Amino acid sequence: MLAHDILINWTPQETRVAIIEQGAVQEVLLERALERGLVGNIYLGRVQRVLPGMQSAFIDIGLERTAFLHVADLMPHSAARHSGGRDAESAAPIERQVFEGQSILVQVLKDPIGSKGARLTAQISIAGRLLVFLPQQDDHIGVSQKIAHAQREALRQRLQALVGGGGGGFILRTNAEEASDDELREDIAYLRKAWAHIRTRALQVSPPALLYEELNLAQRVLRDLAGPHTRSVQVDSREQFAALQAFAQAYTPQVLERLTLYRGERPIFEPYHVDEEIARALGRRVDLKSGGYLVIDQTEALTTIDVNTGAFVGARNFDDTVFRTNLEAAQAIARQLRLRNLGGIVVIDFIDMTRDDHREAVLAELRKQLARDRVKTMVGGFSQLGLVEMTRKRTRESLAQMLTETCPACDGRGRVRTTRTVCYDILREILREARAFNPREFRIVAAPQVVECFLDEESQHLAGLSDFIGKPISLQSDSAMTQEQYDIVLL
């Protein structure tokens, strides 16, 4: 992994984090105060309603809408409020495990979306810097699948020895691969302490009540991203710097000396042009230094990336031009996937290469660059159609989904009907209305550019229709309307 710097830009309404490698922005993380999710939060809830037919229950955790708990996410021992006994079989139906009015310890799996309430689980997990604690699963020791298979058993045995008989299970996270025994012990102690605090508080409050809140973005950065390869963590808020210092002192002391308060006169993101990179990451086209470019289209099902040579003609022959462009594109694609946080299926259309060794070299470069991504990726070979298919695990909304919304003018199509097309739609509708009604006059209310088209290029057709139906047709411009919007008023 390359050395990197972490920049934290904090305002009361929003926290933004940029990860800088080799002087370039590789990743951007955002969290907004009004949109902060609930995933990971632990509540003491009250069962409002049990639905045997759906094998689920609705739980009041203090939100606007009750949350949803399915039997598959219900621990068998949850019928007892805070006991660890297993007094019910895991296969038992939900109506034998919970009852209306019962207090129950639950954790949010999915945030509320639209009219749906939050999705819950009674299988609690608490994430630390190096480990994930499973307090209800004794003797379970797991290891992240991103760690090489050959190392997993040795790491599992190390962790087993450190856990001892304190209860609960643990999963070793990817960033714990090179952690020392002392660091793992510290994380184990912290997680068990956090769980003890949750259990104690659960006995002191009445449901619904929040018992544990997932860390904010700045704290998660110190816990998850700041490691041996981090040169510095800079934050531009004195208040947040003090808060992060206290957090680091307690939980990530090895990061403390690299945590600094940014005192520059320019905004913290400006020296690395982070805002410009974010703006470019919202566009379809990505220009390469050689003159080639990428076209990135994100759809609901998958993301497509098309590679083009553009103006690159620097090599001595066409094969070399294509090969060099594809190599540069492989590097840019890996960076764009991280920067834009694109997940799911990705289909890459590299420029066709005739030589097998060129294809293998491009694939090798793509895999090499993706290896730096902390999100799990899988890359296939070239298909019969010359396409490369890959997947990248979805971890959160993409940058575009977080920062943009569907265009009201084109409704997400990316294109709008031409003014002439809209004019002809209006003429056809007036003709239909004239056959059904007998008004004194028709008035067209439309966008200024549509009205201008009627007054200029389409004036003859408008006059011809007025003569044909025997009614006057007037025009009214409305600047609030988009190009495709219009209204026909019968006077």
User: What pLDDT score was predicted for residue 413?
Assistant: 80
User: For residue range 412-446, what is the model confidence (pLDDT) as tens digits?
Assistant: 888 899 999 999 999 999 999 999 999 999 999 99
Q: What is the pLDDT of residue 113?
A: 75
208 prior amide bond cis, ω within 30: yes
The sheet carrying 377-382 orders its strands as 285-287, 293-298, 302-308, 344-349, 388-392, 377-382
Q: Is the pLDDT reported for residue 167 higher than 90?
A: no
pLDDT digits (tens, 9 = 90+) for 361-377: 999 999 999 988 888 88
Confidence bin at 77 (pLDDT 50/70/90): very low
Give the model's pLDDT for residue 231: 93
Say yes or no to pLDDT of 313 above 60. no
User: Residue 423: which H helix or E strand, with range?
Assistant: helix 419-436
All CATH 3.30.420.60 domain ranges in the chain, comma separated: 4-36+216-272
Q: What is the pTM of this model?
A: 0.72
Strand partners, 303: 298, 346
Query: Taking a C-beta distance cutoff of 8 angstroms, is the pair 330, 362 a contact?
Result: yes
Q: Where in the chain is the domain with CATH 2.40.50.140?
A: 46-212
Token pair listed for 403 = 């920062």
The CATH number, out of the four listed (3.30.70.1900, 3.40.1260.20, 3.30.420.40, 3.40.50.1000), of the domain defined by the range 419-490: 3.40.1260.20
Banded pLDDT at 348 (limits 50, 70, 90): very high
Label residue 75 by pLDDT band (50, 70, 90).
Answer: low
Kindly indicate the confidence band of residue 314, based on its pLDDT and cuts at 50, 70 and 90.
Answer: low
Condensed to tens digits (0 to 9), the pLDDT of residues 79-121 reads: 333 334 444 344 688 998 999 999 999 999 988 877 788 999 9
The residue-averaged pLDDT of 379-405 equals 88
The answer to whether the beta carbons of residues 94 and 52 sit under 8 Å apart is yes
Cβ neighbors of 204 (< 8 A, separation 6 or more) are none
CATH architecture of structural domain 4-36+216-272: 2-Layer Sandwich (3.30)
Where residue 126 falls among pLDDT bands split at 50, 70, 90? very high
Which CATH code is given to the segment(s) 46-212? Answer: 2.40.50.140
Residues 382, 383, 384, 385: is their CA dihedral positive or negative? negative
Where in the sequence of the chain do the CATH 3.40.1260.20 domains occur?
A: 419-490
Say whether pLDDT at 168 is over 70. Answer: yes
